[in-house]
Amino acid sequence: MSTIQISHLSKRFGQFPAVSDLSLEVPAGSVYGLLGPNGAGKTTVFKCVLGLSRPSEGEVLYDGDPFTPQTFQDIAYVPERSVLYEWMSVAEHVEMNRRAFARFEPARALELLRQFNIDPRKRARALSKGMRTAVMVALAFARNARFLVLDEPTSGLDPINQRHVLSLIVNEAARGNSVVFSSHQIGQVERAAERIAVIDRGRLVLEGMVDDLKADRKIVEGILPDATSSLDGVAGDPRIARVDRVERIVRLLVLSGSDDIATRLTQAGASGVRVLDLNLEDIFLYAVSPVNAEADAVVSGSTS
């Protein structure tokens, strides 16, 4: 079982709290999506998980154990920015990884590079942004690591190669390994991730199973008799996280029990009441938007 447990992690840079009291667990054999706006603290979380940055408070455990030099062998990392040596060829990077990591499989790396159409004789400086990402992905997935930490692993890739990376990710999970990845392409996280966490300004604002979040969170929309109609008795329901009103139109962000809320909105005199599904992008945007009733209370989806 390859689990990553982050508990009460905080990281401050001087007075600036980059990450505050973050706790989450990446189960074995699972893909975990970490979402957040730019500057939310995702990369800081990754650096703490990788042992590249020392937490100000809290800890990260790997299968229940703290980080040791051996953990480097178990974790593969695709950083957001290229860490390739410009003057070295791709083949030399493969060789360097072979020397550094005990379980690294050069043949597997070369096969992945071939699938990405990358000539190993090329020097890093001759590679485009997408090709650099592909090289780092090929190196990471040849590591036979138990934990994969992927920061924007599809950045710059065309849709075919993006899907290929997603397949590699799913394959790792199917082999029992743990994958944490972040992407601004929410559709990819939505497809491959079982659970997600949304962090905003260093804090966890949402955590749960993607399927449960989609099943529970809905928009209930209706048209009120007039612009001053009262919503008393409906809007105070704790399952309603947010109320948006524009003239006679009212939209409720509902965390659960959407059918019941829809019925009550109809009883309150609203017409045209509809329940609308939310995809992960909508759920993410509501979680990080400024008018956010959940900002202080993490609402967790049910566990499996």
Partner 1 sequence: MPAVLTVDSRSGVPIYLQIVEQVKRSVALGVLRAGEQLPTVKQLAVDLTINPNTVARAYRDLERDSVIETAPGRGSFVRGDGAVDSARSAAADVARDAFSVALREAKSVGLSRAEVRELVNASIDRWFPEEA
Residues near partner 1 (CB under 8 A)? 27, 29-31, 163, 166-167, 170-171, 173-174, 187, 190-194, 210-212, 214-215, 218, 222, 262, 266, 270-274, 276-279, 282, 304
The half-sphere exposure of 26 on its side-chain side, counting CA atoms within 13 A, is: 30
Of 70 and 303, the one with the shorter C-beta distance to partner 1 is 303
Smallest distance from partner 1 to CB 303, Å: 11
**Using CA atoms, how far apart are residues 168 and 171, in angstroms rounded to an integer?**
5
Smallest distance from partner 1 to CB 130, Å: 19
Bridge partners of residue 203, in order along the sequence: 200
Of 170 and 235, the one with the shorter C-beta distance to partner 1 is 170
Smallest distance from partner 1 to CB 248, Å: 14
Smallest distance from partner 1 to CB 184, Å: 15
3-state SS class at 39? coil
Of 79 and 222, the one with the shorter C-beta distance to partner 1 is 222
Of 126 and 174, the one with the shorter C-beta distance to partner 1 is 174
Of 94 and 278, the one with the shorter C-beta distance to partner 1 is 278
> Running DSSP on this structure, what letter comes out for residue 124?
G
Of 198 and 262, the one with the shorter C-beta distance to partner 1 is 262
Smallest distance from partner 1 to CB 81, Å: 26
* Cβ proximity of 111 and 140 under 8 Å: no
Of 86 and 259, the one with the shorter C-beta distance to partner 1 is 259
Q: Burial, 87: exposed, middle or buried (Cβ in 10 Å; 0-12, 13-18, 19+)?
A: exposed
**Using CA atoms, how far apart are residues 175 and 167, in angstroms rounded to an integer?**
12
Give the pair of three-digit tokens for residue 154.
Answer: 């599809």
The half-sphere exposure of 2 on its side-chain side, counting CA atoms within 13 A, is: 22
Smallest distance from partner 1 to CB 221, Å: 10
Smallest distance from partner 1 to CB 169, Å: 8
* Cβ proximity of 62 and 74 under 8 Å: yes
- Please state whether beta strands 30-35 and 75-78 pair in parallel, antiparallel, or not at all (unpaired): unpaired
Whole-number Cα distances in Å, 24 to 40, 86, 181, 290: 16, 36, 14, 23
Whole-number Cα distances in Å, 159 to 32, 155, 193, 222: 21, 10, 18, 38
